[in-house]
Amino acid sequence: MSLCDDTLLCNFPKCRTKLSGFAWVTACSHVFCDQHGSGEFSRSPAICPACSSALSGKLDIVRTELSPSEEYKAMVLAGLRPDVVLDISARALAFWSYQVKYLSVCLCVNLALLCICEP
Ligand SMILES: [Zn+2]
Ligand SMILES: [Zn+2]
């Protein structure tokens, strides 16, 4: 299994459920299963159950589909400048490597990004 096939685990204490379907992602780089995300973040102010950060911003908590459709992937970054696309990709990769704790994680994705940069 390559590192790219790794699944994230819910960061809720003692949960560690393999995430699939939808997951809740926070600005403090934590991720939760649908059950814990919808339970914890429905109250206000929302507090991250993993690190106790206050999550008050509109985009501090995002419920994201982990396996988006081809239609979504085709359109979600369409129209953005290449530097914006790479910026978003870099942040998403930083989140992933923080979660997986391997600096060399997803080299294949980095290589794919390099290919985009080549003229
Ligand atoms: Zn959970
Ligand atoms: Zn957190």
Report the CATH number that the domain containing residue 13 is assigned in CATH: 3.30.40
Q: How far apart are CA 57 and CA 30, in angstroms?
A: 15
User: Between the CA of residue 99 and those of 68, 82, 83, 118, 119, what are the distances in Å?
Assistant: 20, 26, 24, 29, 32
For residues 109 and 49, the model is more confident at 49
Q: Is residue 90 part of a domain?
A: yes
pLDDT, one tens digit per residue, over 86-99 is 999 999 988 988 88
Cis before 119 (ω within 30): no
Ligand nearest, relative to CA of residue 32: 1
Q: How far, in Å, is the centroid of ligand 2 from the Cα of 15?
A: 15
- Domain limits at 44? 6-67
* Averaged pLDDT for residues 1-29: 83
Which ligand is nearest the CA of 10, by number?
A: 1
Q: Is residue 1, in this structure, part of any structural domain at all?
A: no
In three-state secondary structure terms, 119 is coil
- Same domain assignment for residues 83 and 62: no
48 and 25 in a common domain: yes
